[in-house]
Structure 1
Amino acid sequence: MHTLNELDQTEGTVQLRSSTSAKIILHPKPSATDPNDPLRWPRWKKHVAFTSICAFTFLANYGIGGLSPAFYGLSIEFHKTQSETSALLLWPILVLGLFNFFWVPVANYFGKRPVFVFASLLLCVCYIWGACAQGFESLLWSNIVAAFAGSSTEALGAAIVNDLYFLHERGAKMGVYVSAISGGNTIGPLICGFVVQSIGWRWHKWISVVFTAVNFLVVVFLCPETRYIRDYTQNLAMSSTVSTASDKELGVVERTTPHVANEILSSPTSEVVTIPKNTWKQEMSLWSGTPSDTSLFKLFIRPFLLLVYPAVIFAFLGYAVALAWVVAINILNPFVLQAPPYSWAPSINGLINIPGLLGNIFGAFAGGWLVERYSDWRAKKNGGVFQPESRLTLLVIPTLLVPTGCLVFGYGVQEALSWTSLFFGYGMVAVGLTAVPSITMTYVSDCYLPVAPDALLLVNGLKNIVAFGFLYGVVPWVTKAGYVNTFGTQAGVFVAIMALAIPLAMFGKRVRHKTRQWRIIL
């Protein structure tokens, strides 16, 4: 058992900008001798790999969650109740969480590339299965197995952000990734509503097949392995000897990553590139070896011990409620808007996802780019020193908007108010689905970077399990207590969980220092 401090001495507090020139300092420190380090890849290569992963997670949610506008019609076609039909979304949500605990250790041991190649192919096959399903159970199982494939990106997609990008880029990229997850659940139903109305729900699945097949080819031919053994012990917590490197000293780092032209890298100037660059065939290999210092069994056990870290607990609880409240509206709105007094057609019903999409985009902007700029401003004010807790301040945005949206939606449905109240309510709730995980998962990465894949596994896996537990009972809850009481309680729970950010923001540095001494890492 090891302490986190043995792996990374920074404790999350790093010199982000030079105190003399205010230029960006690269964290983590890229290898000066290995051109195969993903941090040194050309920008286009990073973006292709990152975009394909975002596309994969988008399509996983698009094909499964996007079917929700068809729920009312499917319940009639297959003679199922509202609760039974909602299983098409409920059980996949559980699977998306549970099988994180399978895919992440496997990817950490065998590599991320073979996992994504296999999972991309399996997802495509499952959508073909769903398009051809003749019974409700067959359709349900196609969604469940598709969720098994899609679960590979729930935590690994976030981990790839850490593989490819530096600390000062991490927040914005995490916002894009979370937008891809949520976008599948908003753009999917928006398109599906028109597809169901015009040519039937099966074509929603066939459209998913086409895009998934294209992305599979991109993954196979253009996405190298991003796993890289990095020595985090070279990072110093508060180095006072950081110097600005010249263009010559930056060498290959500058030529392969032109976007860091104004950034500085503290490294010995005597180092030269000594490792040959991999060929395309080597990069596309499905085998990149296995770690010699651990076993697959240990990798399966290791994540669970990290649950004692306060940042991990807060991140998964925050993500869980942000997800559950949005999916609750996705499950309930077809039975509200396609029934009297609204009596909307599925195509019109799908339009409720427009405010959902706008809420997601704003949440990703606020939780990603805006937080990145705010943290950088705080670092400049602090002599160039970055504190991870600076990211938590802007959680005030979803804390104000999400509960308000819950109340607006709940009152709107129960009092049969204008459809605009439902749209505005959903849009405000949707802000939390991207803003909260963008901030909290990036905060977890900042605090526990050497074990970030395992920590993010817990966040993504447990939030789906908690969300499933809530959503499994949301229909009976609404039926018994009414929309006002149900969504009013949701508003209170969300505020209570977001309030946990206050002690973290105030005492986070002290907590990080204490927890990094805990000997809990296998």
Structure 2
Amino acid sequence: MRLHTLKELDQTEGTVQLRQPASGGATASELVLVPHPSDTDPNDPLRWPPWKKHVAFTSVCAFTFLTNYAIGGLAPAFYLLSLEFNKTMTETSELLLWPILVLGVFNFFWVPMANYFGKRPVFVFASLLLCVCYVWGAAATSFNSLLWSNIVAAFAGSSTEALGAAIVNDLYFLHERGAKMGIYMNAISGGNTIGPLICGFVVQSLGWRWHKWIAVIFTAINFVAVALFVPETRYDRTVSSNLAPTMSDSAVSSSDEETSMEKTVTPNSKEVSESPERRATRMQVPKKTFVQELSLSSGTPADTNLFKMFVRPFPLLAYPAITYAFLGYSVALAWVVAVNILNSFILQAPPYNWQPQINGLINIPGLLGNIFGAWAGGSLVDRYCAWRAVKNNGIFQPETRLVLLMVPTLLVPAGCLLFGYGVENTMSWVALFFGYGLVSVGLTAVPTITMAYASDLYLPINGDALLLINGLKNIVAFGFLYGVVPWVTKVGYIDSFGTQAGLFVAIIGLGLPLYLFGGRIRHRTAQWRIIL
């Protein structure tokens, strides 16, 4: 079994020419399309029309959203469920804890299957299974039945954790990556904020089962969308890169978001004038029809096997950026879910005595924090990187993304301290809401930045890299959350949330060496022969 170095797969080591001076001495710069789309294959996802990309991406984001909507969204009903099924606070929290573990662990099943058989069959099967599980949960008559419906639903939904992020790299260019990753992270986090917000009112008016039935309706609609509008996005770019890059970039589908002052060029060619007739004669690959794209079979790789696909990701943990990304995502996730688990037992019990629908309103600041974090870690980072690239003669350095991690590093610890002190001292609900909003910034900002950074560095193996980040983060978060209720009960909210604030700063601070010495670290690790 021959091992490869990252250098053999990607000569750039993450440093690429993102912009170059405009022709004719104009002040505006030309945007370089990275990675280079195929010149001869219209089936390359990077060359799809923008509407087709956006519909496929939106369908996958909706799948991700609905996974967390029905599972995490049940949190406002935890207090009532504990009374209905005669369960303790710790036992009731297992409705969320075990699915979190499953959402991480089964990334290690779905991603190799998708790499081998294709992403489309995985999404179609898993979205159907998710719908069936929500029917099961809505009809559950015992606590164990409800718990297992959530666990199996998490198994189905785990298919989107890493693969959804990987689709960003399949469909969009480097300059779009941060913004689209931010949208995807909002889909994940939005399920855990919009879900409880809606669930609180549904539980109070119709009962917790209707929360599940509403999820069934939307999941069934989304299954149809996935089956019809999510073609296969797996694409062997090493084959297309061997074809002569002579096609005009005007035939390449780029983002519809670029301004009229910018032109796009490929990394390997200048703009050339070419007639449509000549361009058509060099189209070596026929475009697939809509019916052909509905096929669930796209072939299997000839140079590997399924066992190798399962084993391949684990050596990549040696790369510092991957370890850093999953640790940062772990603490960002765990701190938010800790508040989600605890808040109904705080606000629906004395002295607050809130009703479930009022309790659900705590997710409004959570949603606002998620949106701000996704914007700061996505679109704002993309703009900052573009500005830095212009200042650096058009050269993009991946470590540029890490600068804006200062935003969650300041806000999340402040939110932890405010929430902990607020609960311990029975402060106004405003303090609790504001604290939760600040903590929620980290859930989207940190993974949006770090996963885009990892994709910049390890694009040829980004599927396996994102698998490790998304899979391991849930396992680490589960380990913390499994003990959070006993921990808070023993030491109190001030000490526990104060410790969380310190841990967050310490772990995000590990990115400082990556920022200061990123170029050297990338060059050294690119020589490691660890890729299967």
Which amino acid in 2 is paired with 1:265?
T
User: What amino acid maps onto 1:2 in structure 2?
Assistant: H
Counterpart-to-counterpart distance in 1, 2:355 and 2:249: 60
Q: Does structure 1 residue 352 correspond to structure 2 residue 351?
A: no
Please list, as runs of the form range in 1=range in 2, the aligned pairs for 1:211-222 lying within 5 A after superposition.
Answer: 211-222=218-229
Describe how 1:203-242 pairs up with structure 2 within 5 A: 203-231=210-238
How far 1:259 moved relative to its partner? 5.1
**1:43 and 1:259 in contact (8 A); partners too:** no
Where do residues 499-514 of structure 1 align in structure 2 (5 Å cutoff)?
Answer: 499-514=509-524
Say whether 1:447 aligns with 2:448: no
Q: State whether residues 8 and 232 of structure 1, in contact with CA within 8 Å, keep that contact through their aligned partners in structure 2.
A: no
Identity %: 72
Q: 1:13 aligns with which of 6, 12, 15?
A: 15
Q: Distance in 2 between matches of 1:495 and 1:352?
A: 24
2:417 and 2:435 in contact (8 A); partners too: yes
Q: Is the contact between residue 17 and residue 267 of structure 2 (CA under 8 Å) also seen in structure 1?
A: no
**TM-score, with length taken from structure 1:** 0.96
What residue identity is the alignment partner of 2:509? Answer: A
Q: Structure 2: how far apart are the matches of 1:508 and 1:355?
A: 35
Aligned equivalents of 2:231, 2:240: Cα separation in 1: 26
Of 157, 179, 184, which residue of structure 2 is paired with 1:150?
157
Q: 1:113 to 1:234 in 2, by over 3 A?
A: closer
CA RMSD of aligned residues (A): 1.6
Is the Cα–Cα contact under 8 Å of residues 232 and 450 in structure 1 kept in the other structure? no
Unpaired segments of 5 or more residues in structure 1? 236-242
- Which residue is 2:275 aligned to? none
Query: How many residues of Structure 1 are paired with residues of Structure 2 in the alignment?
Result: 511
For the 8 Å contact 2:4–2:530, the answer to whether it is kept is yes
Deviation at 1:49, TM superposition (A): 0.4
**Aligned amino acid, residue 82 of structure 2:** S
Q: Is 1:253 aligned to 2:255, yes or no?
A: no
Per-residue deviation, 1:250? 2.2
Q: TM-score, normalised by structure 2?
A: 0.94
Task: Note the 1:167-186 alignment, pairs <5 A.
Answer: 167-186=174-193
Give the letter for the 1:482 counterpart: G
Structure 2 equivalent of residue 125 of structure 1: 132
1:33-432 correspondence to structure 2 within 5 Å = 33-231=40-238, 249-254=248-253, 262-267=263-268, 272-432=282-442
> SS where residue 444 of structure 1 aligns?
helix
* Alpha-carbon distance between aligned partners in 2 of 1:464 and 1:220, rounded to the nearest angstrom: 28
Is the CA contact 1:8–1:233 (under 8 Å) kept in the aligned structure 2? Answer: no
Q: Deviation digits for residues 384-415 of structure 1, max 9, x if unmatched?
A: 00000000000000000000000000000000
Counterpart of 2:252 in 1: which secondary structure? helix
Whole-angstrom CA distance in 2 between matches of 1:139 and 1:363: 33
Cα distance in 1 between the residues matched to 2:390 and 2:284? 36
**Structure 1 position 232, deviation (Å):** 8.7
Question: Residue type of the partner of 1:15?
Answer: Q
8 Å CA contact retained: 1:7, 1:233: no
The one-character-per-residue Cα deviations of 1:100-139 (angstroms, maximum 9, x if unpaired) are 0000000000000000000000000000000000000000
The one-letter amino acid of 2:180's match is: K
- Residues 471-480 or 271-280, more deviating: 271-280
Q: Aligned with 1:66: secondary structure?
A: helix
1:251, CA displacement in angstroms? 4.2
Number of the residue aligned with 2:488: 478
Partners of 1:106 and 1:157 in 2: how far apart? 14
Q: Distance in 2 between matches of 1:414 and 1:164?
A: 47
Q: Distance in 1 between matches of 2:197 and 2:67?
A: 16
State the alpha-carbon separation in 2 of the partners of residues 252 and 259 from structure 1.
17
2:148 counterpart letter in structure 1: W
Counterpart CA distance in 2 for 1:259 and 1:506 is 32
Counterpart of 2:38 in structure 1 is 31
State how far apart, in whole Å, the 1-side matches of 2:7 and 2:415 are. Answer: 42
Change (3 A) 1:455 1:396: same
Cα distance in 1 for partners of 2:32, 2:319 equals 27
Please give the secondary structure, in 2, of the residue aligned with 1:275.
coil
Paired amino acid for 1:27:
V
| 8 A Cα contact 2:39 2:240, kept in partner | no
The residue type paired with residue 227 of structure 2 is V
Structure 1 contact 399–498 (Cα < 8 Å) conserved: yes
